[in-house]
Each structure stands twice: as structure tokens, then as C-alpha cells.
């Protein structure tokens, strides 16, 4: 039972990271670019370019939710 609970928590954490990653990435790259050149350039299309990352994160979150719901008494 503990292994199942640990896998569910891991899926939820990894899924949340994968979902937020494409949203934070443009600001990270924009900040690096700002420090290098003094101009703030943020590529707002990065989330669309790496669509499969948040898609896999949302699948992991959905899987974790289903596992958590089935483990509840």
C-alpha cells in the first residue's frame, strides 16, 4: 500500500512540474537574454512549441488523480 501511495505522489509532483515548465521557460530565457544584452525579449510561443511536455504532465496528473481516488476508502 505504501508503494502505491508513493507512486501516486511522485506522479502528481512530476505532472505538476511538467505542466508548469513551459509556462516558466519563456521568463527564464527572457531573463537570461535581458542580463546578456539589456533587452527584454520573451518568446511567447514556447508553450505551443513544446506542447507535448504539458500534455504528458496533464496525463500524469490525471493518472495520479485516478490512482488517489481508487485508493480512498
Give pLDDT, residue 73. 60
Question: Domain boundaries in the chain?
Answer: 2-71
**Residue of 56, 70, 72, 65 lying closest to 9 (CA atoms):** 65
pLDDT single digits (tens) 6-63: 889 999 999 999 999 988 999 999 999 999 998 988 888 888 889 999 999 999 999 9
What size, in residues, is the chain?
Answer: 73
CB 50 within 8 A of CB 22: yes
**Residue 1 pLDDT > 70, yes or no?**
no
Q: What is the pTM of this model?
A: 0.77
Q: What whole-number distance in Å separates Cα of residue 32 and Cα of residue 43?
A: 12
CB neighbours of 62 closer than 8 A, spacing ≥ 6? 15
Amino acid at each position: 500500500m505504501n508503494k502505491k501511495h508513493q507512486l501516486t505522489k511522485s506522479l502528481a509532483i512530476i505532472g505538476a512540474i511538467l505542466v508548469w515548465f513551459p509556462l516558466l521557460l519563456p521568463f527564464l530565457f527572457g531573463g537570461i537574454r535581458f542580463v546578456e544584452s539589456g533587452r527584454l525579449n520573451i518568446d511567447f510561443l514556447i508553450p505551443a512549441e513544446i506542447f507535448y511536455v504539458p500534455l504528458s504532465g496533464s496525463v500524469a496528473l490525471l493518472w495520479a488523480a485516478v490512482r488517489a481516488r481508487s485508493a480512498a476508502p
